[in-house]
Amino acid sequence: METSRLYQPPLMPQLLIEGLNRHHDQPCLYLGDKVATYREVRERTSQLVQALQSVGLGKGSRIAVISGNRPEVLANIAAMQLNGCIGTPLHPLGSLDDHAYVLEAAEIDALVYDPATFDEHAARLQARVPGVKHLLAFGPSAHGRDYLALADGFTPQPLVAPDVSPEDIASINFTGGTTGRPKGVMSSYRVTSYMTQVQLAEWEFPDDLRMLIATPLSHAAAAFFIPVLQKGGAFYVMQGFSPDAFFDTVQKHRITATMLVPVMLYFLLDSPRAQSADMSSMQTIFYGASPMSPARLQQAIALWGQVFYQFFGQSEAPMVVANMRRKEHDLSRPQRLGACGRPSPWVPLALLDADGKPVAAGEAGEICVRGPLVMSGYKDMPEATAEAFAGGWLHTGDIGRLDDEGFLYIVDRTKDMIVTGGFNVYPREVEDVLSRHPAVQQVAVIGVPDAQWGESVKAVVVVKPGVAADDALAADLKQTVKDAKGSVQAPKSVDYLDAIPLTPVGKPDKKALRARYWSKEARGVS
């Protein structure tokens, strides 16, 4: 008897189809004045599925996406899933060089993009990476094919799940590395399905789910797609975030849930409307992606109540490693607001020492996880994969401790990654750019406290003899990084030193550098 599929769990395509088929004329997606029902999203998804197939994109095809928030993004995500394609998001703020690296490393076949913003960018990327055979635009384009017009030529058909297995790769997401070379995190259908099942089991979604999307649909917001469909909810999509637009949307549509990165919450709290805005409909504000200031979180709870829900994970084990529930955001226990919650019972977790042994109760150790949530590995990086999987665990690179109530606190980072406004910045990549500047003799890049962004990027520079260490040079260094890597990675400040402190083995001592700036507050990480 053939048993290969006997025990296969439902995968994302099946969950997607079931969610879209469950409802018909109920509103599914609001964007500006446009409203799309479940039936309309389902039919548009079918047309996009056929459009991809018509140009030869199917199971195993690799598609990158770069776009702002527009309704076609969700339907395209669904179409890629139902064709068995491998998806790779491109960050809209990334540089041409970074995007070209990702397209080449991921062996991308097609680029789907918003022509209103990225038409010329897409053309330049294809010129840089000839392996990209297809440019598919969300509308008329000077360089690519009109993906939407192509889809219009097909009659909607019933949605059918592709022939994929749990271990087939569903996405490749790139994250920077300590070597300066970004790593392609390969996530299988097993990972995405398991993450979604944990979300549905653990996360506190309102029964009447009206989900406001204020973050990019092509990134973290996409992780809410299937849960919202399964709950029969509706998406309300912001094309750009501002406190006024956020408060207006919440009040107009009686929004019950949203997801925010900490810097967005800070903008809301600092808005003149923070005290007067009607937030009475809001039941759950999910937050994650970067450390949250306990003081600002305390302020938000006092203002809007115990509506906050924290999630913790990383690209290699996404979103559901730990969570802190609404009732656990307790103002009578302010020290708890610095935690990232309790480890999920669905994700085995251990705190290990340098020898791979469990640490004693209450002591700090590296956070390591295993189970179905863990990635398949880094694309074309067997050594990095072996290092990450040493001892039969995924080593996260974060140092944590558990208190006597089982709450997990992130106390340090084995990596030097900077998290600023929800975006990850990898110092080595910035250092590599700055070290090529003719005025720079030595450079170290660190994260420093920032009331608005959590951390901001600081470059500590030793200039070459005879070079003026002044504001003009600092401005030039910032612009150099901005041109090469994008505005997110550009230093917000530049300090000059006569020498960068070194460890006993001669490496830059970033711990000592950071201590100068973090002396009055703890460096939270998550």
Do 400 and 430 lie in one domain? The reply is no
Looking at residue 33, its pLDDT comes to 80
Looking at residue 414, its pLDDT comes to 63
Looking at residue 366, its pLDDT comes to 92
Q: Domain boundary residue among 113, 138, 164? A: 164
DSSP conformation class of 437: S
What confidence tens digit (pLDDT) does each residue in 404-416 have?
Answer: 999 999 876 666 7
Helices 115-128 and 96-105 pack at an angle, to 10 degrees, of 60
Q: For residue 222, is it within any domain?
A: no
The H-or-E segment that residue 102 falls in is: helix 96-105
What confidence tens digit (pLDDT) does each residue in 252-276 have?
Answer: 999 999 999 888 898 899 899 999 9
Helices 262-270 and 243-253 pack at an angle, to 10 degrees, of 90
Q: How far apart are CA 503 and CA 512, in angstroms?
A: 9
Is the pLDDT assigned to residue 6 strictly greater than 90? no
Do 156 and 255 lie in one domain? The reply is no
Do 402 and 434 lie in one domain? The reply is no
Would you say 338 and 409 are in contact if contact means Cβ atoms under 8 Å apart?
Answer: yes
| Residue ranges with strand state E in 189-272 | 210-213, 234-237, 257-260
Provide DSSP, 59-99: TT-EEEEE--S-HHHHHHHHHHHHTTPEEEE--TT--HHHH
Cβ within 8 Å of residue 341, ≥6 positions away: 310, 311, 312, 322, 323, 324, 325, 328, 407, 408
Among 173-182, 208-217, 325-334, 397-406, where is mean pLDDT lowest?
Answer: 173-182
Percent of the chain with pLDDT over 90: 71
Do 282 and 151 lie in one domain? The reply is no
Is the pLDDT assigned to residue 177 strictly greater than 60? no
Do 422 and 396 lie in one domain? The reply is no
Among 71-75, 120-124, 287-291, where is mean pLDDT lowest?
Answer: 287-291
Q: For residue 92, is it within any domain?
A: yes
Mean pLDDT value of segment 501-507: 58
Q: Domain boundary residue among 413, 445, 474? A: 413
Do 330 and 460 lie in one domain? The reply is no
Q: For residue 173, is it within any domain?
A: no
Q: For residue 179, is it within any domain?
A: no
Percent of the chain with pLDDT over 70: 95
Written as six digits, the tokens of 257 are: 């849930």
Among 371-380, 423-432, 490-499, where is mean pLDDT lowest?
Answer: 423-432
Domain count for the chain: 3
- The parent domain of residue 482 ranges over 418-515
Do 403 and 430 lie in one domain? The reply is no
Q: What is the amino acid identity at position 147?
A: Y
| Mean pLDDT of the residues in the chain | 91
Looking at residue 507, its pLDDT comes to 60
How does strand 349-352 pair with strand 365-369? Answer: antiparallel
Looking at residue 412, its pLDDT comes to 61
Mean pLDDT value of segment 182-196: 95
Q: For residue 221, is it within any domain?
A: no
Q: What three-state secondary structure class fits 134? A: strand
Do 294 and 363 lie in one domain? The reply is yes
CATH number at residue 494: 3.30.300.30
Mean pLDDT value of segment 71-83: 93
CATH number at residue 397: 3.40.50.12780
How does strand 134-137 pair with strand 210-213? Answer: unpaired
Q: Domain boundary residue among 126, 144, 164? A: 164
Buried b (16+ CB within 10 A) or exposed e, 210-241: bbbbbbbbbbbbbbbbbbbbbbebbbbbbeeb
Do 409 and 463 lie in one domain? The reply is no
Mean pLDDT value of segment 114-133: 96
Looking at residue 413, its pLDDT comes to 64
Helices 471-485 and 427-434 pack at an angle, to 10 degrees, of 120
Do 68 and 136 lie in one domain? The reply is yes
Q: How many CA atoms lie within 13 A of 515 on its CB side?
A: 5
- Burial class from Cβ neighbours inside 10 Å (0-12, 13-18, 19+) for residue 34 reads exposed
Q: How many helices (H) and strands (E) does the chain have?
A: 15, 26
Looking at residue 354, its pLDDT comes to 85
Beta bridge partners of 349: 369
Q: What three-state secondary structure class fits 262? A: helix
Looking at residue 526, its pLDDT comes to 35
Looking at residue 213, its pLDDT comes to 93
Q: For residue 138, is it within any domain?
A: yes
Mean pLDDT value of segment 351-356: 92
Do 329 and 350 lie in one domain? The reply is yes
What confidence tens digit (pLDDT) does each residue in 9-45 have?
Answer: 899 999 999 999 999 999 999 987 889 999 999 999 9
Is the pLDDT assigned to residue 525 strictly greater than 70? no
DSSP conformation class of 291: P
Is the pLDDT assigned to residue 504 strictly greater than 50? no
Q: Per-residue confidence at 423, pLDDT binned at 50, 70, 90? A: confident
Looking at residue 294, its pLDDT comes to 84
Is the pLDDT assigned to residue 180 strictly greater than 60? no
Do 496 and 394 lie in one domain? The reply is no
Q: For residue 360, is it within any domain?
A: yes
Q: Could you tell me the pTM of the whole model?
A: 0.83
Mean pLDDT value of segment 360-386: 95
Is the pLDDT assigned to residue 475 strictly greater than 80? yes
Beta bridge partners of 257: 211, 284
